[in-house]
Amino acid sequence: MAERKRQLVRDELTEAAVKLLASQGFDETTVEQIAAAVGMSRRTFSRYFESKEDVIVHMLAGAGTQLCAALRARPADEPPAVALRHALSVITALMAGNPDKTQHVTGLMLGTPALLARFLERQSYWQDEMTTILAERTGLAPEADLRPRIAAGVALTAFNAALRRWVDGGGTADMDELVDEAFAAVTPALDLTTGTN
């Protein structure tokens, strides 16, 4: 119950931050303003987040967990490219649930160096777990074979390219179609079948 209440407060702070950032911009918005928007002090805010960057990055935390869970749940005999593409559908589905908010927050992340750094840092954790899952699925040892890590990295790079196109287009394109287009370009690189390197 305590953790659920904590999550509700985090979500409330995130909503307040998104509204302020939308109207004022990232650099102009302070932690004090975000805290005041939900009726709390700066000190109370720090019990939930260390910085305003953390408020936005919080929105990504669950996405990575769901992505890796979806990848792990894919059929064992499914080709890596297909499994990775289906797993990324979890994120595009989350985006489709609130496209306006997602477009704004994603635009902020990609356009603000501090947020972009945190986004890429978060994705590096996703890549580590995806590497482990791909290695388990294929029987390749990631400490001896680079292919599982490369495949995870290529999949995330393809997703990021689609995400950038989606944001640059004002969020009007179909994100799933953009990811499909990106994956069509990189699928050969995601072949992890054993054989000559």
Question: Distance between CA 52 and CA 182 in Å, rounded?
Answer: 32
CA angle at 83 for the pair 139 and 77, rounded to the nearest 5°: 50
Question: Distance between CA 52 and CA 34 in Å, rounded?
Answer: 8
pLDDT per residue of the chain (197 residues) written in tens, 0 to 9? 788 888 889 889 988 988 888 788 888 999 999 999 999 999 999 999 988 888 887 777 778 999 999 999 999 999 999 999 999 999 999 888 888 878 888 888 888 888 899 889 989 999 999 999 999 999 999 888 999 999 999 999 999 999 999 999 998 899 999 999 999 999 887 877 644 44
Pick the last residue of a domain from 15, 30, 50: 50
Same domain flag for 120 and 175: yes
Please tell me the predicted confidence (pLDDT) of residue 195.
47
Neighbours of 3 (CB within 10 A): 7
pTM (predicted TM-score): 0.84
User: Which CATH number goes with the domain that contains 86?
Assistant: 1.10.357.10
For residue 73, being part of any structural domain is answered with: yes
Neighbours of 107 (CB within 10 A): 16
For residue 162, being part of any structural domain is answered with: yes
Joined together, the tokens standing for residue 196 give: 């000559």
Neighbours of 154 (CB within 10 A): 21
Same domain flag for 37 and 60: no
Same domain flag for 33 and 112: no
Please tell me the predicted confidence (pLDDT) of residue 18.
83
For residue 176, being part of any structural domain is answered with: yes
